[in-house]
Structure 1
């Protein structure tokens, strides 16, 4: 349930889906856009090969001081601990200390986490998907302490107290294009799809926009709808909600998921409902996703570059304390995982999949501590 780590989950309650965007489904009509299908196939082919290089290639080039402290605000999801493990392993290579500050996702808990960073006078801090309105009042103190602040997967731009931002909405939107391209290519231009979004994950908003735009561009005759799932529905019957929508729209043959965790239990629910003809494409990845792809229960996923995202944030802190020039914030190049290449997902870094194999060692080499 990898994308749960990009937002913090509140209490659970009974919820229903709300339609938005593209309207009612209808059978695919009009001639197949053969040129669009070919462009979709070309895009899929381009991104089916696993990346081998980081976007960050410039060595720090200066001695990196030891003894620094970085605070990481974790979350209630177990996967946040995986990210903490990745960061801690690299921090130890630097001779640094990584403090993990737990949060349950509530504004009060998040504010207390920032209070802890202020008390620690940390050299750097990394946090996940917390809006600046939550911690705005602490920014003057953080600046006075010299804390380099890294925002990961929020909608806030760098500046005005945020020193470095990565996994921004603009950086993530390309995953929406790849999901659309895969559906058009796989269907031969005869898809009838629905995109399930979780609006609470504000960093993903442009991914949905890109998905809809690319579907229209590559296959104008392919009906495409969207549905919103509240964050509180996660882990609380999402497969049944999706099945309910599909029963009401029997012509849909592709489901696209903004976070792969929505698919947990979905293949079994589809089969039980007699809807196993519906194909699933998602974004995010995770062990459950890779297993579904291996068994044919999901046809594709665009894995999120978790390792590269958070190590890029740590890299920005390394460059700051070393007095080295900063490098532009960029996500690792996207990658489409299918049954043909899912075997590549078996090699992990501290329990999570790097998009670029060996990316942790690559960052450490840039820091001169490999």
Structure 2
């Protein structure tokens, strides 16, 4: 007797197996420290190529040429990996235990953005993602690839499609459970997985994140122009800080949390309980005077395994000198004068600016007379004329 297969029965069995895998993945994600989990189809955001092209044509990426270079792969997940069918997005809460805005009022602090006060999240999240992706590969037999911010993947809109939250008017992903404080990770897979329900935007009429920006870096809600962003200038920019952005930097020496920290949705968030994502007190409470005294080796030791280390000591000192110039504290003058002879023109140039903010005209003129004639860099010499 010939057995007649029941295709509906097979489909039901496959769905049951698939659902079991998803439940196991979700549970494993939670045990690994992820507070958000969702799935998006690889083609969930067909609008991304056009949005990316519009931003690039507007020049909002400043001199981050890698965004232009990776445009084609960044716009569509299948352009990065043709076999991808589903994308698992996860989020890890790194919420601070205090309001970062409070630290902007103390000029003696070297203010580091919340995300950089801890171990580099790329290393923490990627290890956990590999664990989760390995489980999916073993259970489903599907291929997997993991990404944490370093590949041309538009994590925030994909996380929105996967139901983790929504992109706020400050362009950062917002969550009802974590506010603005979520690290994102992506697992691309060849498996066809059931999609989560996308999260609707819930910013309403609120514009607090736009209004607080000290440099008006948002040309419109949901749009960010890096050419006016303090986070960009203090982290990505390789040259001198443009003159018009030095005063607004205040005591920010790495990143800017203003638009994240002011968001009303943060009131529903809680501080992270993940020890690897908690702030190092030595970095959170770093004194500007101590940072100005760091040698290159001391800088690398102090910021070991954190995002700040990737900046390099010269650009970090550049930022600290801006903070010193904004501090109004003449006690920084000896450190500033010492840095006038630093090997990096970035440091020498900003030391001149800081000196001119704190020293009286006679002191500044005496230093100019001692250094300008032997200064080989024209951009550094020009700082005496600003």
| More relative contact order, 1 or 2 (CA 8 Å, 6+ apart) | 1
- Could you say whether these structures have the same fold, taking a TM-score greater than 0.5 normalized by the shorter chain as the test? no
The TM-score, its normalising length taken from structure 1, stands at 0.23
TM-score normalised to structure 2 length = 0.23
Pair member with larger Rg: 2
- Please identify which structure carries the higher strand content: 1
Compare the two structures and name the one with the higher helix fraction.
2
